[in-house]
Amino acid sequence: MKSSFHYSALALLAAVVAPLAVRAFDAAGHNNLLLYWGQNSAGATGAAQKDWQQRLSYYCEDNTVDVFTLSFLYEFGGGRPTAFDLSNASNNCTGLIEGTQLLNCPQMEEDIKQCQSKGKKILLSMGGATGSYGLDTDKDGETLADDLWSYFGGGSSKIRPFGSAVIDGFDLDLEGGASKGFVGFVNRMRNHYDSDKSKQYYMSAAPQCPFPDAYMGGVLDSTWFDFVSVNNKEQFNYATWDNWARTKSQNKNVRLFVGVPGSTSAAGSGYVPLNTLTTTIGDLQKQYPSFGGVMMWDASQAYINKDGSPNYATAVSQRKKKPSQPTNHDKPRPDYNHYLHWKYHERFHNNAKPYDQLAVIGA
């Protein structure tokens, strides 16, 4: 997914979440906030170094955020070494785990556990716009699922980039290559989820908004996702994705998240001012039972944006009251295209992978 994608998810998600002492993520809810974290979009777009991406635990102090998606696991499958990159946060890792291309990150172990103790869910996003990845067969997908479950999930392995921390699931952001093999990956990973009764795990996806998605359409139709982030690059077509959620998704309670830029510099165009965003979110909550919240790209951008106090993400959340119950699908819906349409920056800090991500999450 592009960097724009990330900013989208963070901003919108923050807008819908009401502040609580300790928030418990409700996957079936309509007011969740999801932020992408890991690619230092602020640093990539010229922000002063003091405003660059902070460590993950810094953002987890904010009670308005429900989900953080780590970006990205950018290399995997097809005989490639598995690797991830977290931009400037990678500098806090201690080097590569022997015999692998995976970073050893004790600080991430600490931060993930701290965030989870505050009710946050932590996902790991796979793919990106310029990563090197792909699978040849469903069997390859199953093998990858086994490996990632052992490395990052509830499995066991000497190879644990985040130590004893166990993430809460995976996010597919496939923007290239063939789609084969990923049905096998998702189904095998869900089998692993079912084998661990100690916690709830989630599977999310971040398709492009043109429907059906060129790389993920078949996977989305054939496997179970808890929420889906739609990458609205060309147009905002929520009604189309809502129809998919109701008629084709394997999970008829899947939630859809809408993505917005976290600031004017997070996207080439399409930034949504605070007042407009809160109004739009309220309308979507009322009109669409599938609406799950907002996804913003990205945390670093949203938290230095002062369109609202103390920042854009928190302000959106604080100004949004608890939504009323969604109405039925017979009622006319407003046109949000003029609100939620943007283009993305493709400028990145020289330590970051050049992912141009934009996210809209739908579950």
Pairing of strands 343-344, 267-269: antiparallel
What are residue 5's DSSP bridge partners?
358
CA angle 268, 363, 114 (to 5 degrees): 85
* HEC sequence for 57-85: HHHCCCCCCCEEEEEEEEEECCCCCCEEC
- Candidates 265, 256, 194; CA nearest to 226 is 256
The catalytic residue positions are 175
Contact predicate 206/361, CB 8 Å = yes
Question: Which helix (H) or strand (E) segment is 35 a member of?
Answer: strand 32-37
CA dihedral 155, 157, 160, 166 (to 10 degrees): 20
Residue recorded with tokens 């093998």: 143
Contact predicate 353/38, CB 8 Å = no
Distances (CA, A) of 245 to 116, 187, 224, 254, 360: 28, 19, 11, 6, 14
